[in-house]
């Protein structure tokens, strides 16, 4: 997971949000891991997806709404 760049992780998160709509953080992480083709989530996968979420928020593609759910901007 350390070899996957932040842009690719952000793209996976954005794809998940596009497919599923607004999601809370835990659900977004789990669904993104599934989208990436993994059946189970481990600490490294969770950390990587969280990096993708943070990068997406910094770049402006992902926002957090008033209900603390993530969505595309």
pLDDT attached to residue 3 = 79
CB of 46 closer than 8 Å to CB of 29: yes
pLDDT attached to residue 41 = 87
Query: pLDDT of the chain along its 73 residues, tens only?
Result: 667 889 999 999 999 999 999 999 999 999 999 999 998 889 999 999 999 999 999 999 999 999 999 999 9
pLDDT attached to residue 1 = 63
Q: Where are the domains of the chain?
A: 6-60
Cα 48 to Cα 6, 22, 35, 66, 67, distances in angstroms: 8, 20, 14, 25, 24
């Amino acid at each position: 997971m350390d070899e996957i760049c932040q842009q690719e992780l952000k793209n996976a998160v954005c794809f998940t949000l596009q497919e599923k709509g607004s999601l809370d953080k835990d659900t977004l992480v789990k669904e993104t891991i599934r989208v990436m083709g993994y059946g189970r989530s481990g600490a490294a996968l969770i950390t990587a997806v969280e990096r993708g979420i943070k990068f997406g928020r910094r770049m402006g593609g992902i926002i957090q709404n008033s209900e603390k759910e993530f969505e595309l901007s």
